[in-house]
Amino acid sequence: MIERLRQAYYRQQYHPGLPGLFINPFFLARRSLWKAIAQFGGQLQGPLLDVGCGSKPYRSLFPVPEYVGLDIDSAVARSRGVADAFYDGTRFPFADAEFQSVLCNQVLEHVFTPEDFLREIHRVLRPGGQLLLTIPFVWDEHEQPHDFARYSSFGLRALLERNGFRVLQQRKLLDDFSVLVQLAIAYFFKVSRSRSRVLNLLVGAVLFAPLTVLGLVLGALLPRNPDLFLDQIVLAEKIHD
């Protein structure tokens, strides 16, 4: 019973349905990511490599026959028991042109040498293969000390093009008033966090849920501002070796 509750709670961190509104302080961010990845996911073909797969939270969005999870070789990653392969932070343990698609979700900001990282993705992709990548733009430091970069839409496009990719689609996520609400919630989440899970859930229900609803309403009513956004998603194609 406890394990089922734990799994249900974890699912709401990435697939925020209505219960997630009350228990997930990052509901707005997760909701926009989930919707965007779901819209792009059907375009990718297998075999697919999920780089930095973590717990594979978006696996269900990719109807491919072969889905391979790759994670950095660490005690935390191995303890999850989810990744299919591990790498040392330099070279992926796969042959050239082994995959038709690559998913890289909220990982690039944690890569200190992005050119080398993208060259590895390029190497394991087949000619014409596609990369689906998401990355934050306006967000606080996280997973410290392994948080190294933020990219504007222009910087990300230039980085991809320099490393053998053609950008097919690029979209800014949470480019409305709700980005300000999500950042405010992130602030209160960090300054109010305690060791008591019950207290944290209570704070979430009393404070974060009403703010989240406010963000949803005002985000729909007020004009968008494409210069200020939380995340971006890019679909790119390998164009040369």
Residues 214 and 184 in one domain: yes
Residues 70 and 136 in one domain: yes
Enumerate the β-bridge partners of residue 231: 136, 173
Which DSSP symbol is given to 207?
I
Q: Quick one: pLDDT at residue 168? A: 97
Instruction: Answer whether residue 8 shows pLDDT above 60.
Output: no
Instruction: Answer whether residue 124 shows pLDDT above 80.
Output: yes
pLDDT category of residue 143 using cuts at 50, 70 and 90? confident
Q: Quick one: pLDDT at residue 10? A: 45
Residues 157 and 94 in one domain: yes
Residue 131 CB-density burial (10 A; 0-12 exposed, 13-18 middle, 19+ buried): buried
Residues 194 and 206 in one domain: yes
Residues 30 and 73 in one domain: no
Residues 32 and 11 in one domain: yes
Instruction: Answer whether residue 6 shows pLDDT above 50.
Output: no
Whole-number average pLDDT of the chain: 89
Q: Quick one: pLDDT at residue 17? A: 64
113 vs 106: CA distance, rounded Å: 15
Residues 33 and 95 in one domain: no
* Residue % of the chain over a pLDDT of 90: 68
230 vs 72: CA distance, rounded Å: 25
pLDDT category of residue 15 using cuts at 50, 70 and 90? low
Which DSSP symbol is given to 112?
S
Section 109-136 average pLDDT: 96
Kindly state the tokens that stand for 130: 């596609």
Q: Which of 37, 32, 38, 36 is nearest to 16 (CA)?
A: 32
CATH of the domain at 129: 3.40.50.150
Q: Quick one: pLDDT at residue 5? A: 39
pLDDT digits 0-9 by tens, 68-85: 999 998 888 888 889 999
Q: Which three-class secondary structure state does DSSP give residue 165? A: strand
Residues 114 and 19 in one domain: no
Residues 97 and 112 in one domain: yes
For residue 47, say if its preceding peptide bond is cis, omega within 30 degrees of 0.
Answer: yes
Residue 127 CB-density burial (10 A; 0-12 exposed, 13-18 middle, 19+ buried): exposed
68 vs 59: CA distance, rounded Å: 10
- Give residue 219's domain range: 1-41+176-225
* Residue % of the chain over a pLDDT of 70: 90
Residues 140 and 55 in one domain: yes
Section 228-241 average pLDDT: 93
Sequence letter at residue 231? D
pLDDT digits 0-9 by tens, 179-227: 999 999 999 888 887 777 777 777 777 788 889 999 999 999 999 999 9
Residues 35 and 83 in one domain: no
Residues 12 and 79 in one domain: no
Q: Are 158 and 222 in contact (CB under 8 A)?
A: no
Number of separate domains in the chain: 2
